[in-house]
Amino acid sequence: MAPPTVISRQEFIGHPRSVSAVRRFVQDALAGLDHLDEATLLVSEAATNAIVHTASGDAGGMFTVEVEVQAQVFRVAVRDAGGASSLPTVRAPREDRTGGRGMDIIARTAQRWDWRPDGAGTVVWFEFPARLASTC
């Protein structure tokens, strides 16, 4: 099996305004592939978590988004700057809270997903089949 091909990697400022740029970045990197809408939603959730829950959201903080395409799957990964008070956790949604649903959305939507420590930070990644989108 050939190693994954990194088609795109970009660093973003850890500010909520960056989330729209992250969505455009992933849409451009995965243009023409199926599951683009889902990937856009999930990268928004992962980037928001990096900004809200880690040092990526501190003044001068950054996070990185990476897109890889293999023959059968594509993977999107968000690498934060660390400093989170807890590890990425899937929580059951609660009606009395407006937040805390990001990892649950990722877990329910992605074909596969996980997280791993990466130096001082954490990488949250998800995958979908790498199929061309139908034009119908």
Domains of the chain, residue spans: 5-129
What confidence score (pLDDT) does residue 4 get? 61
- The CATH number of 5-129 is 3.30.565.10
> What pLDDT, in 10s, does the model give residues 36-93?
999 999 999 999 999 999 999 999 999 999 999 988 899 999 999 999 988 898 887 7
d(CA 19, CA 13): 9
For 98, the enclosing helix (H) or strand (E) is: none
15: exposed, middle or buried (Cβ count in 10 Å: 0-12, 13-18, 19+): middle
> What pLDDT, in 10s, does the model give residues 84-106?
988 898 887 767 666 678 899 99
pTM above 0.95, yes or no: no
Tell which residue, 79, 76, 26, has the closest CA to residue 54: 79
